[in-house]
A and B are shown apart, each in its own frame.
Chain A
Amino acid sequence: MTLETLNLILLGGIVLGALYALMATGLALVWTTLGIFNFAHGTFIALGAYIAWQIASTEASGAGLLAGAAVSIIGMFVIGMLVYYLLIKPFERSPDIVVKSVITTLAGATILENVINLVWGPRNKQLSPLLGGDMSILGITISRNEMAVVALAIVILAALGVFLQRAPLGRAMRAVAQNREAAQLMGIDVERLYAIAFGLSAALAALAGILIGSIRFMNPSMGSDPLMKALIVVIFGGIARFTGPIYAAFIVGLLEAVMTYLVGLYWSPTVLFAIMIVVLVAKPEGLFGRYRKSV
């Protein structure tokens, strides 16, 4: 392996890691706040990308990528809140909401995916890159677009972290996640916070979708593989801390890049899962976890 190959693998891993971090954080936000796992998250990624394409692409409205991204992120925030009210809230007081929400969010994913298929068709599409051209760092050439993706993901995640730590709304969100009843007794509007958490998670998914769409081709089921990876990342990293899934995302991204080089595309998920199981046997709360939130 030459040094250049190694650098390429590392870079690929970092780009993957940044995308996984965005997706996994969105997933973890809903998981920690509502205590459920949202299987429609992958479809949110696809829907976000398609909405952005509809506004941005010259084949459609042609309003440019920035406008497309803005409409997509805001639109997905609203759609996420709607999905919460339609698919989660009716079961809120049911004791087995965890099981029920698996089915309702899977149903939502299937319905939304078919809507995408119906509206935009199954043909591959692509968003224009955020930045054109290449740049060179330390003697290796990389696309500016991929660097922009990584930078944007890190900035957004840092902003989200500060929001959860410092902003009153973010603090309230963490409070609800940690003790719903005590939060209610303080006068926190739990239902509204749940809707906002779901909306924020969907907006993060939309951003991830747009970034993926600017690197790879888009199709209606483009979210299912990233969803699987995000799930691995969340379980791998643990959700005790906001940063757990982020570190894990970069580890998983790098592992995947290395595995793809060493054992090939088809075997890398197998190796990834094997590593995950070994980690979970040794650290059941995830690599960076400390205690388990009971759901």
Chain B
Amino acid sequence: MTDTLLLDVRALDGGYEPLQIFRKIDLSLAQGASVGLFGPNGHGKTTFLRTLSGIIDPWDGDIFFDGVQLNRPGARGSRRWRNFNYDAITRRRMDPKAVARAGLIHVPQGNLLFPDMTVAETLSIAPYASRGRANAAETLDKVFRLFPRVHERLGHKIRFLSGGERQMVAIGVGLMAAPKLLILDEPTLGLSPKLRGELASAIQTIRGSGVPLIVVDQDIAFLEELIDTLYLFDHGRISRRIEKADMPTHEEIMKLMFGEDHH
């Protein structure tokens, strides 16, 4: 079963000590497919993605990516003494470096990147740090074709970029790492409608070039065009898994999530 799946998350528990944020998440992604996560703010989508990329340790469950288990199997030991520094005696259960090097690349929400580095420097890091060194020049061209503005701003420092430009660089950085699966956490958050459209079409192009995606967004119409399966996230659980064929309208989803008509 794992052979045919690119990503297979089983019964994943996690959160910020001592608060559990999400429970028993099951999520799978067939080779070449993309999924979307949809749900209100504060219900654990971002925490789940941070766990998936190893920034925080999962509490229990399994993450298989490309046939390899990324986390240490089994539940973590109990942490009964709340004042004890368990980090000093336990090994980490997941390694963000290993996740990135396996090709699971996460473009986080509102990525601030490296304020005092230039765009060119920022784009040069990933190929050296983890993956994509072989085709770095090619990928860079691809990023420039996708985002001409990134090319114009190459010599500028990140902190002088606008929010939209910064988001473009963040996605470009993700692409430079030659992702086998790209996680985009609210890529169009806080952008003007025009920029939103620009970014959305760039993301379509990325999807079209064969990079599978996990996308979080609040815009169902945007998600619908990109993905094969939609997961509804509700209070730290997956409340529903919807295939593309039965994709509901925005109103139907609002009803599903909140149980009432919002109009």
Contact A94 B85 (CB under 8 A): yes
Shortest Cβ gap from A102 to chain B (Å): 17
**Nearest CB to that of B124 among chain A residues?**
A171
Contacts of B100 in A (CB 8 A): 184-187
Knowing A168-B125, A179-B113, A188-B125 are in contact, say whether A90-B88 is a contact too (CB < 8 A).
Answer: yes
**Nearest CB to that of B99 among chain A residues?**
A187
Knowing A175-B125, A178-B114 are in contact, say whether A187-B131 is a contact too (CB < 8 A).
Answer: yes
Contact A187 B111 (CB under 8 A): no
**5 tightest CB-CB pairs across the interface, nearest first?**
A187-B130, A187-B100, A168-B128, A178-B114, A184-B96
**Mask: chain B, 114-156; 1 = CB below 8 Å from A; 0 = not:** 1111000110111011110000000000000000000000000
- Indicate whether B221 reaches chain A with its CB closer than 8 angstroms: no
**Mask: chain B, 172-194; 1 = CB below 8 Å from A; 0 = not:** 01000100000000000000000
Q: How far is the CA of A203 from the CA of B114 in the complex (A)?
A: 27
Contacts of A188 in B (CB 8 A): 97, 125, 129-130
Contacts of B122 in A (CB 8 A): 175
Which residues of A does B touch, CB under 8 Å? 90-94, 168, 171-172, 174-175, 178-179, 181-190, 240, 291
Shortest Cβ gap from A166 to chain B (Å): 10
With a 10 A CB-CB cut-off, give which of A172, A185, A240 has the most chain B CB atoms.
A185
Contact for A90 among B85, B96, B105, B129, CB less than 8 A: B85
Contact B117 A187 (CB under 8 A): no
- Indicate whether B71 reaches chain A with its CB closer than 8 angstroms: no
Contact A187 B87 (CB under 8 A): no
Q: How far is the CA of A189 from the CA of B99 in the complex (A)?
A: 11
Contact A178 B97 (CB under 8 A): no
- Indicate whether B106 reaches chain A with its CB closer than 8 angstroms: yes
Contact A174 B106 (CB under 8 A): no
Contact B113 A171 (CB under 8 A): no
Contact B117 A175 (CB under 8 A): yes
Name 13 extra pairs, CB < 8 A, besides A94-B85, A94-B87.
A90-B85, A178-B117, A181-B55, A182-B112, A183-B114, A183-B125, A184-B55, A185-B55, A187-B129, A187-B130, A187-B131, A188-B130, A190-B96
Contacts of A90 in B (CB 8 A): 85, 87-88
Contact for B97 among A174, A184, A291, CB less than 8 A: A184
Contacts of B131 in A (CB 8 A): 187
**Nearest CB to that of A93 among chain B residues?**
B87
- Indicate whether B241 reaches chain A with its CB closer than 8 angstroms: no
Q: How far is the CA of A181 from the CA of B124 in the complex (A)?
A: 17
Q: How far is the CA of A222 from the CA of B138 in the complex (A)?
A: 54
**Nearest CB to that of B122 among chain A residues?**
A175
**Nearest CB to that of B170 among chain A residues?**
A182
Contact A172 B114 (CB under 8 A): no
Knowing A175-B117, A178-B116 are in contact, say whether A185-B125 is a contact too (CB < 8 A).
Answer: no
Which residues of B does A touch, CB under 8 Å? 53-55, 85, 87-88, 96-97, 99-101, 105-108, 111-117, 121-122, 124-126, 128-131, 173, 177
Knowing A175-B117, A179-B113, A181-B108 are in contact, say whether A186-B85 is a contact too (CB < 8 A).
Answer: no
Q: How far is the CA of A185 from the CA of B100 in the complex (A)?
A: 6
Shortest Cβ gap from A197 to chain B (Å): 15
Knowing A90-B85, A90-B88 are in contact, say whether A185-B129 is a contact too (CB < 8 A).
Answer: no
Q: How far is the CA of A291 from the CA of B160 in the complex (A)?
A: 13
Contact A174 B114 (CB under 8 A): yes
Q: How far is the CA of A175 from the CA of B125 in the complex (A)?
A: 8
With a 10 A CB-CB cut-off, give which of B85, B114, B173 has the most chain A CB atoms.
B114
Knowing A185-B108, A187-B130 are in contact, say whether A178-B55 is a contact too (CB < 8 A).
Answer: no
Contact A187 B101 (CB under 8 A): yes
**Nearest CB to that of B54 among chain A residues?**
A184
Contact for B177 among A92, A168, A175, A187, CB less than 8 A: A187
Contact for A171 among B53, B87, B125, CB less than 8 A: B125
Shortest Cβ gap from B99 to chain A (Å): 8
Contact A182 B114 (CB under 8 A): yes
Contacts of B124 in A (CB 8 A): 168, 171
Knowing A172-B129, A175-B125, A179-B112 are in contact, say whether A185-B117 is a contact too (CB < 8 A).
Answer: no
Q: How far is the CA of A172 from the CA of B87 in the complex (A)?
A: 25
Contact A182 B129 (CB under 8 A): no
**Nearest CB to that of A178 among chain B residues?**
B114
**Nearest CB to that of A184 among chain B residues?**
B96
Contact B115 A186 (CB under 8 A): no
Shortest Cβ gap from B158 to chain A (Å): 9
Shortest Cβ gap from B258 to chain A (Å): 32
Contact A182 B111 (CB under 8 A): yes
Contact B108 A182 (CB under 8 A): yes
Shortest Cβ gap from B197 to chain A (Å): 26
Contact A186 B121 (CB under 8 A): no
Shortest Cβ gap from B74 to chain A (Å): 21
Contacts of A179 in B (CB 8 A): 112-115
Contact A185 B106 (CB under 8 A): yes
